[in-house]
Amino acid sequence: MQPKLRFTKIWQDEDMVELRVEACDGTSMFSNKVYVGHHSLRETVIDLHRFKDHIYGGLYDLRFGEFGPEYGSGALSARLHFHDRGKLLVSIAMQSEYSDFGKKNVASEANLFLISEPALLDNFIQSLRAVSEGHQNDAQLDGIDSPWTWD
């Protein structure tokens, strides 16, 4: 499996977009759905465009949806961190929508980690901008192969 963080637009109205989020670290994969306001999606594109130039230790926290049973749909938190030698480390926490499981109300959760590169981030930002503007339905941040083999 190819490491990636992928957003696919599955629904929208005048206020919000529903995205399917897929994260893969090369071995494990997790998928959920999150709601994002159109304004928040546009702001994310602007913020990522600024962040891409902070290649010497820059940090950016991408957050869609909210964690916890009080909120609708799922949640995503992805911390992007430029590391030594031009690598972009991405730490991902995801939670599905809560649902009844016997007498409990539960949500599936995952923590995944992938490594990407600045050029791949540029491609992702362009694709996310196209999603935000309604020109395409998906955006993907590709990871590099065999992420755990570098020093």
Mean pLDDT calculated for residue range 51-77: 91
Each as own residue / partner, the long-range contacts of residues 136-142 (CB below 8 Å, 24 or more positions apart, any chain) are 137/8, 137/9, 138/6, 138/7, 138/8, 138/9, 139/6, 139/7, 140/4, 140/5, 140/6, 140/7, 141/4, 141/5, 141/6, 141/90, 141/116, 142/2, 142/3, 142/4, 142/116
The pLDDT tens digits of the residues spanning 117-126 come to: 999 999 999 9
Written out in words, the top-level CATH class of the domain with range 4-142 is: alpha beta
What interhelical angle do 38-51 and 118-132 show, nearest 10? 160
The pLDDT tens digits of the residues spanning 136-146 come to: 999 999 999 75
pLDDT of residue 146: 54
The pLDDT tens digits of the residues spanning 77-107 come to: 999 999 877 899 999 999 999 999 999 999 9
The pLDDT tens digits of the residues spanning 6-62 come to: 999 999 999 999 999 999 999 999 999 999 999 999 999 999 999 998 878 789 999
pLDDT of residue 91: 98
Distance CA 79, CA 40 (A): 17
Specify the pTM.
0.92
For the chain, domain boundaries: 4-142
**Residue 147 pLDDT greater than 60, yes or no:** no
